[in-house]
Amino acid sequence: MSITRHFSDTRTETGRVRILLRAGLVLLNAEGAGWHHSSQHASLQDAALELAMLPQLGADLYACALSDLEEQLAKEGAAPDEPFWGAA
């Protein structure tokens, strides 16, 4: 059985970005008025890159989502299933 865990959940007046972790996958869900995006990624870096490339995502929501992601990483250190988050 695979358990999905909320890693970050960002909400602003213009939309919502959720990052979920499940069995070695990072799930990205983003939505706003009239649009929705869902994708699966192998790492948080890949999900953050995908988030940056979403044309519907406004700069404010993007900045808040990245800030929330960084805050969560600081609280937990490396994300589960991603021991090399900071490695280049």
Residue 59 CA to residue 88 CA, distance in Å, equals 26
One digit per residue, the tens of pLDDT, for the chain of length 88 reads: 678 889 999 999 999 999 999 988 999 999 999 999 999 999 999 999 999 999 999 999 999 999 999 999 888 775 555 443 433 3
pTM over cut 0.75 = yes
Estimate the crossing angle of helix 59-76 against helix 44-52, to 10 degrees.
170
CATH code that applies to domain 4-75: 3.30.67
Domain boundaries, the chain: 4-75
| DSSP conformational letter for 82 | -
For the chain, the first-to-last Cα distance in angstroms comes to 32
